[in-house]
Structure 1
Amino acid sequence: MGVSTSRPEPGVAVVTVDFPPVNALPVRGWYDLADAVRAAGRDPGIRCVVLAAAGRGFNAGVDIKELQRDTAEGGHAALIGANRGCAEAFSAVYECEVPVVAAVHGHCLGGGIGLAGNADAIVASDDASFGLPELDRGALGAATHLARLVPQHLMRALYYTSRTATADELRAHGSVWQVVPRARLRDTAVELACEIARKDGALLRLAKAAINGIDPVDVRRSYRFEQGFTFEANLSGVADRIRDTFGTETGQGAGKP
């Protein structure tokens, strides 16, 4: 359980997240993920990183139960930690010195959208679904990243309804590179990473920096702007009311502050 890194092929690092049962990450998990991605990108022998997950789904966001425990004790440390940890993990993917391929299976929700949306390429299994159920979880955020995956009006409709989009739908919008059966997901993502890794390492790093430099949206700034409204929702008590209802109905909390 946790975050691990492997090297299945020359020049390729696979960072795997494993937080059963649904990969809803605690505060420490977000920081560990950020550290692992940054370390892989700094390694001069690595030319592409694959971000993958074990278990039932790619990512279910923040562990709401951790937030609820902290709130019950009258504190906001977990909320602040989750906000900062998510921002660090998302930024680590976006700012990784080499390209990042997200291998997405099952659910990709909340914080999962932040990770996949900041990746350079996405390979998804045919059972993958993408969405931001934030309004059902007492949270806000990551519209910045969903807007990198679907057109503006679809992003807004998905956000307001908490509905999800399939991997095939995202492929039709051009944001998913390939959709494959789950059994082939890891191999397909590594194959793409190997194709990228055959390029010159120094030039790849320059290319990543250049492409980020021409991005029309500052993803770090826009995401931090969104997070301010999450704090407002928490301070007003709205977030706690919704999270308590969600936890009672499902028994498992996950979202993205």
Structure 2
Amino acid sequence: MGVSTSRPDKGIALVTVDFPPVNALPVHGWYELADAVRTAGRDPEVRCVVLAATGRGFNAGVDIKEMQRDTGHSALIGANRGCYEAFAAVYECEVPVVAAVHGFCLGGGIGLVGNADAIVASEDAVFGLPELDRGALGAATHLARLVPQHLMRALYYTSRTATAAELHAHGSVWKVVPRTELSAAALELAAEIAKKDATLIRLAKAAINGIDPVDVRRSYRFEQGFTFEANLSGVADRVRDTFGKAQGGTA
């Protein structure tokens, strides 16, 4: 259990997340993920990072039970900072990051894939931000990188999800494949990227980040301020408690 890194092929680092039962990450998990991605990107032998997960789904966001056990705000602050670090690590990784997504990709998962350079998804993959149902806010910054503006708003306000096929139609998912073919498809794209010159691919990543119209780090940090406001006002606890009773306490 945790975050591991392997080398499935020359020039490729595979970072795998494993936090059963649903990959709802505790605070330390987000930091582990950030460290793994940054370490892989700094390795001069690596030209592409593949981010994947085991189990039922790619990512279910933060561990709500961890927050509910905390009588203060340390878990909330830790989760927000951990998510910020993990999202930034993917975005700032010195080489391209390919996200291999299966099952559910919710909450913090959207922050990860929204900051990835490419997404390969299985046919059963769904993407969404159920934050309003879970007493939180955030990652609209990243959902807006996956779907058009008005669809992002509708998905955010309703907590609905979009399928991999729908995201493929919008151009944000590179390829949709049967679940059994997901790993191979992600590694195939990564291998194509990894064939490029090591120095040039890093320059390309820096150049593309430099022309982004939105500073994803700053905009996400702005969103986090409203999450703190919801928690300080008591609204978040009320919604979170209701969700926890109905769903078993993870998000």
Which SS does the other structure have where 2:206 is aligned? helix
Which SS does the other structure have where 1:157 is aligned? helix
Distance 1:61 1:251 in 2: 14
Q: Which runs of 4+ in 1 moved over 2 A?
A: none
Name the counterpart of 1:249.
246
Distance 2:13 2:90 in 1: 13
Name the counterpart of 1:110.
107
For residue 125 of structure 2, what is the amino acid of its counterpart? A
For residue 237 of structure 2, what is the amino acid of its counterpart? D
The structural deviation recorded for 1:252 is 2.8
The structural deviation recorded for 1:253 is 1.8
For residue 50 of structure 2, what is the amino acid of its counterpart? V
Distance 1:202 1:244 in 2: 50
Equivalences for 1:22-171 in 2 at 5 Å? 22-70=22-70, 73=71, 75-171=72-168
Identical residues among aligned pairs (%): 84
For residue 11 of structure 1, what is the amino acid of its counterpart? G
Name the counterpart of 2:227.
230
The runs of 5 or more residues in structure 1 that have no matched partner are none
Name the counterpart of 2:13.
13
Distance 2:184 2:167 in 1: 20
Distance 1:82 1:250 in 2: 20
For residue 18 of structure 2, what is the amino acid of its counterpart? D
For residue 32 of structure 2, what is the amino acid of its counterpart? D
Which SS does the other structure have where 1:24 is aligned? coil
Please, what TM-score do these two structures have when normalized by structure 2? 1.00
Which SS does the other structure have where 1:124 is aligned? strand
Name the counterpart of 1:205.
202
Distance 2:174 2:248 in 1: 35
Q: What is the CA deviation profile of residues 24-45 of structure 1, one whole-angstrom value per residue up to 9, with x for unaligned ones?
A: 0000000000000000000000
Which SS does the other structure have where 1:13 is aligned? strand
* Backbone CA RMSD of aligned residues: 0.4
Name the stretch that deviates more: 243-252 or 19-28: 243-252
For residue 49 of structure 1, what is the amino acid of its counterpart? V
Which SS does the other structure have where 2:52 is aligned? strand
Distance 1:13 1:24 in 2: 23
Distance 1:94 1:251 in 2: 32
Name the counterpart of 2:179.
182
Distance 1:64 1:234 in 2: 13
The structural deviation recorded for 1:230 is 0.1
Q: What is the CA deviation profile of residues 11-34 of structure 1, one whole-angstrom value per residue up to 9, with x for unaligned ones?
A: 000000000000000000000000
For residue 86 of structure 2, what is the amino acid of its counterpart? A
